[in-house]
Amino acid sequence: MRLADLTTIGLGGPARAFIRAGTDDELIDAVATADAGGEPVLILGGGSNLVIADAGFDGTVVQVATRGLARDGEPGTVTVAAGEDWDEVVARTLAEGLAGLECLSGIPGRAGATPIQNVGAYGQEVSQVITGVRVYDRLTKETLHLPNESCGFGYRTSMFKRDEAHRLIVLGVTFRLAVGPLSAPVRYPELAEALGVEVGDRVPGTEARSAVIQLRQRKGMVIDPADPDSRSVGSFFVNPVLDAAALAAVETAARARYGPEVRVPRFDAGDGLVKVPAAWLIERAGYGKGYGPSGGPSDGARISAKHTLALVNSGSASTAGLIALAREIRDGVSNTFGVSLTPEPVLIGVAL
């Protein structure tokens, strides 16, 4: 099985073995059997946040294909199997008059991966509405229910993502959504502007969904075979969170380069910290939309023509080439601003 065919960026060599698990029992059995034999395991959802080595994966890839969405318990509570397509989950909750996921429309992948990096966009994060995650623990071989506060959620991270041993397999996710046709208050200025409302206003959830999808399409952030800029893993770098000293250093470097008028954009990240858009740092370090040297080590990989933060496979790229481009950008930003960018996707068999 060629993993390039199962990743949205179209990269990755072969897997030694491949199992598609359609039920929780099949999923647990596949993982437990591999673990018992000392076989490395890679859990695959929609392959939209994975960069896999050209050499592939020397072990068993288990694709999560479980299905099911149930409204249970309290009104607004929805439990979703890990293998459900995420955007279909969002659409379905809105169709059932539930709000809280509308800004996460158009994000590719499966529901079970959403807690892994605490998927977020346009002012919403899944951690705001997840009440619990049902997991299989590969060490104890038990199935357990983790409440939200045990998941270690942070900005684009969780304890699942931080655990390099990938001990926990997500079987299902439970969300508590608001019952009613209106969206959660719109938090993101760009989205509020597109909707023609003020930040903090509510709009019909389905309108918020349409606006989000339109904004995302313009940035190549909705998978579309006809859009070569969507052959990516989404944002390649996480927006760095800086303390006052690091921000001051960025401001000094930016003024030295672009003059005293320049203002470094930032968003409050709490505790005296700010989030600075990685896209701004990348562009200002000299890597604009569409950048991608041909003929060099990164041949075939380039920055999206629509969104500076997405690295795309223009069709002929290799994983080695993508990583070479990512390194060049990371080093360029570090040399210019002293900020070390970290990759957002999970890297398998490669490192930056």
> Which residues contact ligand FAD (rule: CB under 6 A)?
8, 42-50, 64, 82, 107-110, 112-114, 116-117, 119-121, 169-170, 221, 223, 230, 232-234, 346
* The one catalytic residue among 158, 230, 235, 314: 235
What is Dmax (Cα atoms) for the chain? 62
Of 61, 58, 48, which Cα lies nearest the Cα of 19? 61
Pick between residue 230 and residue 298 the one whose CB is nearest to ligand FAD.
230
Catalytic residue list contains 134: no
Give least dist CB 113 to ligand FAD, A. 3
Catalytic residue list contains 235: yes
CA angle, corner 45, sides to 44 and 51, nearest 5?
A: 60
Give least dist CB 32 to ligand FAD, A. 14
Give least dist CB 257 to ligand FAD, A. 29
Count other C-beta atoms under 10 Å from residue 39's C-beta.
14
Q: What Cα–Cα distance (Å) separates residue 102 from each residue in 80, 149, 294?
A: 16, 23, 39
* The one catalytic residue among 110, 156, 284, 302: 156
Pick between residue 24 and residue 246 the one whose CB is nearest to ligand FAD.
24
Q: What Cα–Cα distance (Å) separates residue 346 from each residue in 156, 217, 238, 271, 327?
A: 12, 24, 12, 27, 15
* DSSP letter string, 291-304: ---SSSTTTTEEE-
Pick between residue 66 and residue 336 the one whose CB is nearest to ligand FAD.
66
Pick between residue 159 and residue 247 the one whose CB is nearest to ligand FAD.
159
Contact 108, 205 (CB under 8 A): no
Give least dist CB 331 to ligand FAD, A. 24
Task: Give the torsion sign (CA, 201, 204, 206, 210).
Answer: negative
Catalytic residue list contains 158: no
Q: Which residues does the annotation mark as catalytic?
A: 156, 235, 344
